[in-house]
Amino acid sequence: MFIRAYLRASTEEQDAGRARESLEQFATDHNKVIASVYLENASGAAADRPELLRLLKDARKGDVLLVESIDRLSRLPVEDWQKLKAAIDSKGLRIVALDLPTSHQGMQDTKGDEFTGRMLGAINSMLVEMMAAIARRITNSGESARPRVLKRPKRLESTKADRLTSICTSV
């Protein structure tokens, strides 16, 4: 089993390698070593990504496709995502995403327990589909995948503030 790390950033200005250290630490924590790193700056909504295609060409049955998060792998439209997922499945790759704990079992060798391997694989596949759908929704809505920074509420009008103050102090 080879660990194949895929790192992607959406634009040339972004650092596609920013998560490399996290992926390497994750592999080390699971007593594994990353065999190959595939790094590119390309939109996750584009199907034609040279490094991802090279990863698929290099992959062998049982290898792990390690990503920071599912949205690094795909923000593709449904039809293109289904084609990519079929290519991943046909290669026998196991998707492991740092932000999807149920996928972490993919770092283990389950050859001795076929039932557990299949059950966990089915659960992981379902969750990967869900995360890909969320990434698509974010992409289609124009939202950022990064967490939003909460803003302070607008200042209350002075009459409302005075009223609230009087209510609070009268109690």
CATH number at residue 17: 3.40.50.1390
Is residue 166 situated within a structural domain?
Answer: no
Is residue 9 situated within a structural domain?
Answer: yes
Is residue 167 situated within a structural domain?
Answer: no
d(CA 70, CA 72): 5
Range of the domain at 114: 3-146
Say whether 46 sits in a helix, a strand or coil: coil
Q: What is the pLDDT of residue 110?
A: 62
Is residue 156 situated within a structural domain?
Answer: no
pLDDT-flagged residues of the chain (< 50)? 145
Q: What is the pLDDT of residue 121?
A: 66
Q: What is the pLDDT of residue 43?
A: 85
Is residue 170 situated within a structural domain?
Answer: no
Tokens of 85: 């997922």
Is residue 164 situated within a structural domain?
Answer: no
Q: What is the pLDDT of residue 3?
A: 96
Q: What is the pLDDT of residue 113?
A: 61
Is residue 77 situated within a structural domain?
Answer: yes
How would DSSP label each residue in 93-112? Answer: -EEEETT-GGGGGGGS--TT
Tokens of 122: 């089915």
Phi/psi of residue 71, nearest 5 degrees? -70, -15
Tokens of 29: 């924590």
Q: What is the pLDDT of residue 161?
A: 63
Q: What is the pLDDT of residue 24?
A: 95
Say how many domains are in the chain.
Answer: 1
User: pTM for this one?
Assistant: 0.70
- What amino acid positions are annotated as catalytic residues? 10
Neighbouring residues of 164: CB distance < 8 A, sequence distance ≥ 6: 156
d(CA 82, CA 111): 27
Is residue 158 situated within a structural domain?
Answer: no
